[in-house]
Amino acid sequence: MGELRINHDKCVVCKQCITACAFNALSVEDGHISVNSACRLCGSCVKKCPLHAIEIVEDRHVIDRDQYHDIMVIAEIDGSTIAPVSYELIGEALKLAAIRQDKVSVAVLGYQLDDMVKSLKGYGLDHIYVFDDPSLSIFRCDVFANVLYDFLSKRKDNVVLIPATLNGRSLAPSIAARFKTGLTADCTKLEMRENGDLVQIRPAFGGNIMAMILNSHARPQMATVREKVMDRAIYKNDDSGTIEKIMVEPSLLQSSVLVETVHDLPKASNISSATRIIVIGRGVPVSDHPRIHGLAKKLDATIGYTRPMVEKGIGSVLYQIGLSGRTVKADWILTLGVSGAIQFTAGMDQSSLILAINNDPNASIFNIAHHGMVADVSQWLDEWEKRYGSLQ
């Protein structure tokens, strides 16, 4: 619950608190105000004290921060490769680790991983822990969580980072609850404090508000990060990253969940891996869509859509950008007739170069676009065709 704390430096022993207390919990001992077990933490004395010398402090299990070091990244596997998001988390972990000279290691779970894990060498990792077992070939949340919890609970990692992929979003909470530690989902920014506290920043209320979250009462500090939010680790071409195979206790692999069949879905059939993107928004007349497809072809770009366009049935949900669609981190992205609701921009504002064309000078897309151009999209396309030829 908590306890009553008296700041004896501020207190002048005026005894107003003693009169205010209904439980006779306060008295003067050795010239100081003292609290006895009758205190109900009602707060009457806190309100009464003219010098603000009394406060109610939440009684917490205090963790010894100095016992916890290092950062563990849980890698994600995509088919027969390490998914790109894993390298992004490693890149972020290395930046955070530099503050306190922590080490960064990665854990990889799967089957027949020998070739895959070699690709993690040379990025400045300390260890690459490999859990290789046929039972781990297909993701099952309980099995993966059991194996990882068993491994992590024998260590004292300060931070564990997990990709906010579909599987990661099940795995991370399953591990966090086993530790009874906090978990912050979809962090867009992380900072390390000198004392080891991880500052976790994430959008809330559909991105209308940013929340800064701390997990100062438990370890490890756990966070998930979506793909294309952090910068990828830089390949150093050195010998870093000691590969260590971990024997998995067979009892940890037992589960009441059995895999029946697996259906592979066609790869890259969505917008999230595109690096050059043109987005069609509500402000573009449908009759201009063919010309925009022509422009995309010319610039070797992929067409993306806003939510209203997908709801109208014009674009596929796999090509929808935004909080309810996919997140992109493009080299360049051009939005045409997109107003720029936060729901959309949260899914693309990490792109390196953002260009926007809209006929409304007050459109909020111009707040995030590096290059905003106030123009009518149809006339702008006419101008393009005048200069560079037909787009049909």
Question: Which residues 165-224 are close enough to bind other proteins by CB under 8 A?
Answer: 165-167, 169-174, 176-178, 180-186, 199, 203-218
Least gap, CB of 368 to other proteins (angstroms): 6
The CA distance from 63 to 197, in Å, is 11
Tokens describing residue 51:
């010098």
Instruction: Decide whether 248 or 357 has the Cβ nearer to other proteins.
Output: 357
Minimum CB–partner distance for residue 28 and other proteins (Å):
31
Cα 325 to Cα 337: distance, rounded to the nearest angstrom: 18
CA dihedral angle for residue 229, residue 232, residue 233, residue 235, rounded to 10 degrees = 180
Q: How many residues at the interface with other proteins, by CB under 8 A?
A: 88
- Stretch 88-147 residues interacting with other proteins (CB under 8 A): 138-142, 145
Q: How many CB atoms lie within 10 A of CB 130?
A: 20
Cα gap 328→309, rounded to integer Å: 17
The distance of closest approach from Cβ of residue 356 to other proteins in the complex, given in angstroms and rounded to an integer, is: 9
Of the pair 126, 382, the CB lying nearest other proteins is at 382
Nearer of residues 101 and 256 to other proteins, judged by Cβ: 256
Residue with tokens 């955070």: 96
Smallest distance, other proteins to C-beta of residue 171, A: 8
Instruction: Using the minimum distance from each CB to other proteins, give the nearer residue, 114 or 331.
Output: 331
* 262: contact with other proteins by CB under 8 A: yes
Exposed, middle or buried: residue 172 (CB in 10 Å: 0-12, 13-18, 19+)? Answer: buried
- Does 12 bind other proteins (CB under 8 A)? Our answer is no
Q: How far is the CB of 289 from other proteins (least distance, A)?
A: 19
Map the footprint of other proteins across residues 351-380, applying CB under 8 A.
353, 355, 357, 361, 366-376, 379-380
Largest CA distance in the chain: 93
Q: How far apart are CA 261 and CA 97, in angstroms?
A: 41
Q: How far apart are CA 111 and CA 144, in angstroms?
A: 12
CB of 229 to other proteins, least distance (A): 14
**Interface pattern 318-357 for other proteins (x via CB under 8 A):** -------------xx-x-------x----------x-x-x
Query: Is position 382 an interface residue for other proteins (rule: CB under 8 A)?
Result: yes
313 dihedral zone (left: phi>0; alpha: psi -120 to 50; beta): left
44 binds other proteins (CB under 8 A): no
Which amino acid does the sequence have at 27?
S
